[in-house]
Amino acid sequence: MSRPFRFAVNLLDGGTAAEWRRKCRRAEALGYDVVLVPDHLGMPAPFPSLVAAADATERPRVGTFVLNAGFHNPALLAREVATTDRLTGGRLELGLGTGYAKAEHDAAGLPFGSPRERVDHLERTVTEVKRLLAGQRPDAPPPLLLGGNGNRVLRLTARHADIAAFTGATTGPDGSLTLITPDALDERVAAYRGFAADRTTPAELNHLVQIVAPGPARRAAAREHAGRLGLTEDDALAHPAVLTGTPKDMAEQLRAHRERYGFSYFTVLEPAMETFGAVIEEVRGE
C-alpha cells in the first residue's frame, strides 16, 4: 500500500521578520506539510528561521533540507536540534547531508575533505547526535532525514533515517547539478531498498523537484530544460526532478513516481511554491 503524499517547500530567501512570517503562512495556506530551509552561506540561518516559521504557522512541520554536516560540531548541533525541537512544539524534521560545495567550506575556513572524509564525518555526526538526543529528547526525537545517492550514504540512511531523500542527481564541487537518468535512479532506489531490507519499519522516500514548468506543452518544456540538466528530452519527461504541464498533468506524474519509485514525499524549491500549490490541491488526501 502506498504512503499518502506529503509536500514541502524549501525556502531560500529570508527578508524581514514580517516577510518571513507572511511567506510561511502562505505556504501553510497552499497546503504544504513541511516548511524547510537549506544550509548555505548567504541564505537564512536554519534554526532561528525554523523557530520563526513554527511560531507563524499552526499545522506544518519545519525542517532542514539539508544541514551540511561539515559546518557543524555534533555536540553543539545536538543542542541546537533539541532546543529547536522544543521551541517548535516537536514539529522539527532534521535533515542532514555531507555537503557538496567546496567554495562554502573555503569561505567559512572549514576543511572540505575528500568524499570518503565527508561521509565519515556525516556518519560520526548522525551517530553522535542520535546518542545525545536520546538523553535530551528520549520520548520523541525529531524524525531524521538523510540525503544522498552513493552506497555509503544509502547504507547509513538505511540504518538510521526515518526519511530517505533522493536528488536523482550528481553534484560537482562547485554545486553544479547533473541529473542521473530515470533508470539510474531506479537502480539507486533499489540499492537503498537492498540495504534497508532488514528494517522493521520502512522509511518514507523523498525526492527533490528541481523544475516545475507549468503549461500545456509538456514536451516543449522538457526540451527546454533537458540539456542543462544533462538529460534527453524523454528522460526529462520521465524524471521526478522535472514536473511539466498542467496541475492535473503534474498530479499524474507524482502518482506515477510514487508507483515506480515509492516516492511519496516531494520537496519543491521556493520559486515554485505558488505554482505547485495547485498540484497539491489536485492530490490532496491521496
Using one digit for the tens of pLDDT, what is the confidence trace for 167-203?
988 876 666 678 999 999 999 999 999 999 999 999 9
Task: Tell me the CA distances in angstroms from 69 to 120, 124, 166, one per residue in order.
Answer: 10, 9, 17
- Give the CATH number for residue 75: 3.20.20.30
**Is 185 a domain residue?**
yes
pLDDT recorded at residue 125: 98
The predicted model gives 215-225 an average pLDDT of 92
Residue 135, helix vs strand vs coil: helix
Average pLDDT, the chain: 95
What's 33's DSSP letter?
A: S
pLDDT recorded at residue 137: 79
**Is 38 a domain residue?**
yes
Q: pTM for the complete prediction?
A: 0.96
pLDDT recorded at residue 174: 65
What's 59's DSSP letter?
A: S
**What is the Cα–Cα distance from 188 to 123, expressed in whole angstroms?**
19
**What is the Cα–Cα distance from 65 to 144, expressed in whole angstroms?**
11
Query: Which residues on neighbouring strands pair with residue 93, listed in sequence order?
Result: 63
**Is 43 a domain residue?**
yes
pLDDT (tens digit per residue) in 46-96? 999 999 999 999 999 999 999 999 999 999 999 999 999 999 999 999 999
- Tally the domains of the chain: 1
**Is 236 a domain residue?**
no
**Is 216 a domain residue?**
no
**Is 126 a domain residue?**
yes
**Is 62 a domain residue?**
yes
* CA-CA-CA-CA dihedral for 224, 225, 230, 233, to nearest 10: -60
Look up the domain containing 195 and give its range: 6-209+247-283
Helix (H) or strand (E) holding 269: strand 265-269
Q: In this predicted model, which residue has the larger pLDDT, 162 or 174?
A: 162
Phi, psi values for residue 72, rounded to 5°: -130, 135
C-beta separation of 137 from 178 below 8 A: no
Lowest mean pLDDT among 176-180, 231-235, 277-281: 176-180
**Is 237 a domain residue?**
no
pLDDT recorded at residue 244: 97
Kindly state the percentage of the chain with pLDDT values over 90: 89
Nearest to 63 by CA among 87, 27, 94: 94
Phi, psi values for residue 29, rounded to 5°: -65, -35
Q: Which residues, in sequence order, are CB contacts of 258 under 8 Å at separation 6+?
A: 2, 3, 5, 264
Q: How many CB atoms lie within 10 A of CB 58?
A: 9
177-179 and 144-147 as β-strands: parallel, antiparallel, unpaired?
Answer: unpaired
